[in-house]
Amino acid sequence: MRRDIVPAGAESLSYEIREIVVIAEKLEKLGLKLTYENIGDPIAKGEEVAPWIKEEIKKLMDDDETWAYCNTQGVLATREFLAAKVNALNGCQITADDIYFFNGLGDAVAKIFGHLKREARVIGPTPAYSSHSSAEAAHSGYEHLTYRLDPNNNWEPDVDEIYNKAKYNDSIAGILIINPHNPTGATVSKANLKRICEIAEELDLFIICDEIYNELVYSNGEPVKLAEVIGNACGISIKGISKEYPWPGSRCGWMEVYNKNKDPQFAKYIETILKAKRLEVCSTTLPQKSIPIVMGHKNYPAHLKMRVDKFEARANEAREIFGSTKGIKFIQPRGAFYMTVLFEDGVLGKNKTLHIENPVIREEIERLCKGKIADDKRFVYYLLGATGIITVPLTSFYSKINGIRLTSLEEDDEQRRKTFCLIRDKMIEFINS
């Protein structure tokens, strides 16, 4: 090209959860049978759409309005319904004007970070969810700024670290929270969430809280939403239906803006995001129209409870399988459908391997593991080559801790148990190799 057309920060746009699939598909052609343990799509993992939800969506198809563009901010009746839900929490009070729809939270995240001033940084958790960390790093042109979630304290955020980093680095304009969290399945306690809001208020920062899993909190987690504890800080909660109905293919999510008018800079920033959205006209109409009908349906509370109970039971099943194994540490999740298994310090190294029967696949894995590669990523490649199971190393989530992320989405009980047991056995074989 006559000119360099690649922007600064382009290297930061990586999504290893999907990138490993490209490698796996190459190996599939060599005869490997794949098991996808890397994706957060309940439908792809066999969850059936509730028949009553399907029926409601079919009825909407008969309404011609469903086929039209909608308001740029989103369908008004839906925004009114969602605003009333927030207001019923008796915390921050909002109106339909404080809600903005996007084509999934992926779209919301891109716009939230993409329209932030380049020098304004957002500090987020490590382990990080790749969409956020990549978007923040790409917008700033620097490494993503992080605060630690503590594996020895149920992955709770280190609030003192947040305070100190934010206080002494004046480029930090915002704090990102993901609650419940991907990739750990952790939840943030009410006390810590409140403390983070107080920090934001004291230091004049805004909060972004990803609450896409907020209706998937287990009995051992504290169900608290940002709106309940935000106080006077400026904040954004992002929510969606991808994981909740679940309907990830709907590409439908929204942001709720709290205390927009408490700070003119914050109000202007939100207005910029809306202006960017106007260029695209609007977000998907059909899923938006379904929200008051589905979420307001008499079956919905029981539907949510059934799903929470299911994922909690599977987390307990994983704890039984991984729990008391030497060299690894299972951290009990409290929500969503993810969990982490960590390698204990000192058990990994550059010479660790797994037996791979097929010589061509073995050669390919050895080639992938040459050079500088994180120890847990090395395990993930060997696990793939030896078993066809695709997992994601924890170091791919902007973390220094070695481990893997598991999901509890597999609907086939026997298959899920078998996969968990095989992963555990391969972790032991790898450690002892």
Considering the complex, what minimum distance in angstroms separates the CB of residue 211 from ligand PLP?
9
d(CA 171, CA 34): 44
Which one, 106 or 231, has the nearer CB to ligand PLP? Answer: 106
d(CA 381, CA 366): 9
Residue 122 in contact with residue 101, Cβ under 8 Å?
A: no
d(CA 412, CA 70): 39
Under the rule (CB under 6 A), what is the footprint of ligand PLP? 40, 104-106, 129, 131, 178, 182, 210, 212, 240, 242, 248, 253
Considering the complex, what minimum distance in angstroms separates the CB of residue 21 from ligand PLP?
14
Which one, 35 or 407, has the nearer CB to ligand PLP? Answer: 407
The neighbouring-strand residues paired with 185 are: none
Which one, 37 or 210, has the nearer CB to ligand PLP? Answer: 210
d(CA 190, CA 82): 22
Between strands 172-178 and 206-210, the pairing is parallel
Helix axis angle, 130-140 relative to 104-114, nearest 10°?
Answer: 20
Considering the complex, what minimum distance in angstroms separates the CB of residue 337 from ligand PLP?
10
Considering the complex, what minimum distance in angstroms separates the CB of residue 208 from ligand PLP?
11
Which one, 157 or 385, has the nearer CB to ligand PLP? Answer: 157
Residue 124 in contact with residue 12, Cβ under 8 Å?
A: no
CA-wise closest residue to 307 among 398, 383, 244: 244
d(CA 7, CA 296): 45
Considering the complex, what minimum distance in angstroms separates the CB of residue 256 from ligand PLP?
14
d(CA 230, CA 221): 19
Which one, 103 or 419, has the nearer CB to ligand PLP? Answer: 103
Considering the complex, what minimum distance in angstroms separates the CB of residue 17 from ligand PLP?
8
Considering the complex, what minimum distance in angstroms separates the CB of residue 192 from ligand PLP?
18
Residue 185 in contact with residue 334, Cβ under 8 Å?
A: yes
Can you spell out the DSSP letters for 302-363?
HHHHHHHHHHHHHHHHHHHHHTT-TTEEEEPP-BTTEEEEEEPTTS--TT-----SSHHHHH
d(CA 76, CA 87): 16
Which one, 132 or 426, has the nearer CB to ligand PLP? Answer: 132
Which one, 105 or 137, has the nearer CB to ligand PLP? Answer: 105
Structure tokens at 68: 């039209």
Considering the complex, what minimum distance in angstroms separates the CB of residue 178 from ligand PLP?
5
Which one, 253 or 333, has the nearer CB to ligand PLP? Answer: 253
Residue 236 in contact with residue 256, Cβ under 8 Å?
A: yes
Residues with Cβ within 8 Å of 423's Cβ and at least 6 positions away in sequence, in order, are: 37, 341, 383, 387, 389, 391, 404, 406
Which one, 127 or 151, has the nearer CB to ligand PLP? Answer: 127
Considering the complex, what minimum distance in angstroms separates the CB of residue 210 from ligand PLP?
5
Considering the complex, what minimum distance in angstroms separates the CB of residue 164 from ligand PLP?
25
CA-wise closest residue to 183 among 387, 84, 39: 39
Which one, 78 or 131, has the nearer CB to ligand PLP? Answer: 131
